[in-house]
Amino acid sequence: MSERANDQTNDASNRALSSTDRSYLDLETSDKTYLDSNELVINMGPQHPATHGVLRVILKLDGERVLGTECVIGYLHRGVEKIAENRTYTMFNPYVDRMDYCAAVSNGLGYCEAVEKLLNVEAPARAKYIRVILTELQRIASHQLWLGTHALDIGAMTPLFYTFRDREEILKIFEKYCGARLTTHAFRIGGCQYETYAGFEKDVKNFLAFFAPKIDEYEALLTTNRIWLERTRNVGVISAADAIALGVTGPVLRASGVQWDLRKAQPYAAYSEFDFEIPVGTNGDTYDRYLVRMEEMRQSMRIVEQAVNAIPEGPIMGKVPKVIKPPVGEIYHSIEAPKGELGYFIVSDGSTQPYRLRVRPPSFVNLQALDIMVRGLLVADVVAVIGTIDIVLGEVDR
């Protein structure tokens, strides 16, 4: 194990991304293999439980060591951007939930805020607080789902049951709020459609009290677990410079030591009103990404707690016309989704339908870093790294 760790560090120093052209996988090139054995090209996925959906990775192997990878994606491509051009702004709103279906609320927040910016309206303060509460609960739920499946991939089965048990409580709040658990369509352009239900604040506070010790429970299972440490430390290292060059965002970027979070850098919704920290890692390995996400759950709880104690009274819908017809122009708006920077670039031609709607998906861009993260590792580590990037193929393929 330690021998492998050494190899990894050597590889990491050799792998610094130059700014010159870089071919991700040249299957023709023959690298020097161990004992001059034949290189092996194998297929992982798309029907593979550890690729989190329909990701297909072509692995070029020397024995069990990865020489290069190529991702084949698009199996879940539904043409979301084309659909947007053929729907009105309002009709397209539920579609965004189907991209990152593990964090539908965040997708909806990004889309609604982007259209609001284009319309030059703002959601009322109460709506913003409701949005922050639900979005942060969604971040916790998304990280729980990530933790459960990621740990399962690596071989720890128990966290899956713990996280799904606790995620249920968040989904119950969503269900009581808007009737849906996963694809929630929680927000509307201009604010929220639904007022909070009676007992919403109590439910949220109960959840916070319930969940605080649960994070410690997860950590007790994993943080100092010998097997977990061996499987995650120094695995899938990416330096800050490489991460920036590859456009990686979210917890993956922060684990490499870049303290950058859109909620702080360019605050949206009501985030400027809350105190929270941006956890960062130092090594940029799988273990640091785990620690960053664990801490992010705690910080999300802090935000929810502050928000739920200070929800202002007032309307929940801004002054938005029935027929949404933004003026001619274009806008880019992005939010810090659980997986990274989720951006919407909307071009309006003054009609009721977007002329062009581009989604900048965090999973898609982060997945590009898989190649550089797994070179030199073993096949089993590829599974760990796919898990640690936290991709959702619905968002990668759109």
Partner 1 sequence: MAEEVKTPAPPPPPQPQPANTGPSGGPEDEKKPTAEKPAAAASAEPAKPAEPAKPAAPTKPAAPAKPTTPAKPAGPVPLPWTSPMVEKYKSQYGSGLDALTYLGQNYLAVDRSLIPDILRLLRDEQQFDYCVDVTAVHYPKREKQFDVVWILYSFPRNERVRVKTQIADGASIPSSVSIWPTANWLEREVYDMFGIQFDGHPDLKRILLPDGWKGHPLRKDYGILQQDKEWVQINLGIESGQ
Contact residues toward partner 1 (CB under 8 A) are 17, 19-24, 73-74, 77, 79, 81-83, 85-86, 117-121, 244-248, 258, 260, 265-266, 319-321, 323-332, 334, 341, 343, 345, 347, 349-351, 353-356, 358, 360, 364-365, 368, 397-398
- Considering the complex, what minimum distance in angstroms separates the CB of residue 41 from partner 1? 16
- Considering the complex, what minimum distance in angstroms separates the CB of residue 39 from partner 1? 19
C-beta of 255 vs 324, nearer to partner 1: 324
C-beta of 63 vs 267, nearer to partner 1: 267
C-beta of 186 vs 320, nearer to partner 1: 320
How far apart CA 103 and CA 255 sit, in angstroms, is: 21
Token pair 């943080």 in the structure block, residue: 223
C-beta of 177 vs 268, nearer to partner 1: 268
- Considering the complex, what minimum distance in angstroms separates the CB of residue 191 from partner 1? 14
- 3-class DSSP assignment, residue 233: coil
- Considering the complex, what minimum distance in angstroms separates the CB of residue 272 from partner 1? 14
- Considering the complex, what minimum distance in angstroms separates the CB of residue 343 from partner 1? 6
Q: How far apart are the first and last CA of the chain?
A: 38
C-beta of 114 vs 156, nearer to partner 1: 114
Chain centroid to Cα 194, Å, comes to 26
Q: What are phi and psi of 118, to 5 degrees?
A: -65, -35
User: Using an 8 Å Cβ cutoff, are 326 and 350 in contact?
Assistant: yes
How far apart CA 31 and CA 56 sit, in angstroms, is: 23
How far apart CA 188 and CA 181 sit, in angstroms, is: 17
C-beta of 75 vs 164, nearer to partner 1: 75
Q: Six-digit token pair at 281?
A: 């890692």
- Considering the complex, what minimum distance in angstroms separates the CB of residue 370 from partner 1? 11
The half-sphere exposure of 394 on its side-chain side, counting CA atoms within 13 A, is: 13
